[in-house]
Amino acid sequence: MTDILRAAVGIFATLAPFGLIPAFLAASRDAREENARAGRTLPLAGITALVVLLVAVLLADPFLDFLDVSAENFQAAAAVIMLPLAARLLWSGHSLGLSDVATSRPWLLPLAIPGLAGPASLGAVVAYSGRYGEADAAIAVAIAIMAASALLYAAGFLQRALGERAIGVLGRLSGALIVAIAVELAVDGVRSV
């Protein structure tokens, strides 16, 4: 159980939902204005990201075999892959720009991919799958996606209650959390057999 929770926290961190709030609200607003798929943005993005990350769990072992890389060594790679997202969050407080959501299907691009299922979360999922096994990683993915979706569901309320500045601060803190998760993953990879 501890392993699942640890993996869920790590994956949740790389989903960085606080950093997605501004883009998610903009996408939802645009959808309402166009009266198309209003209210379905979040479920569609969440389910898509869940499917992508679960596929990543299933393909983690063959992927590492294909690369000739041990799961322990991959943890350091996952840590490096997380750093650009962490840097963006620390710098701006959000993981997607508002202009990024001006697409025909924002729930897919960029909210689901790469907003939720991006390089950082994919790297984390592969790393945790190697570390704790597919079953634990899959459960952790489901928990993390549900938690991130719940947070995004409350995005409007949070923005009104806390204000944009506080959301930005929380986004920056998400970046710091990702750095901590990356360091933990890398150190664990170095210390593992």
Residue 98 is given by DSSP the state G
Q: Which residues bind other proteins (CB under 8 A)?
A: 67-70, 72-74, 76-77, 80-81, 84, 119, 190-193
The nearest distance, CB 20 to other proteins, in angstroms, is 17
Taking CA atoms, 139 is separated from 34, 64, 121, 124, in Å, by: 36, 20, 15, 14
Nearer to other proteins, 64 or 139 (CB): 64
The nearest distance, CB 181 to other proteins, in angstroms, is 17
Nearer to other proteins, 33 or 68 (CB): 68
Dihedral sign, Cα of residue 112, residue 16, residue 29, residue 27: negative
- Nearest-angstrom CA–CA distance, 54 and 154: 24
Nearer to other proteins, 36 or 190 (CB): 190
The nearest distance, CB 99 to other proteins, in angstroms, is 9
Among the listed residues 36, 34, 178, the one whose alpha carbon sits nearest the alpha carbon of residue 118: 178
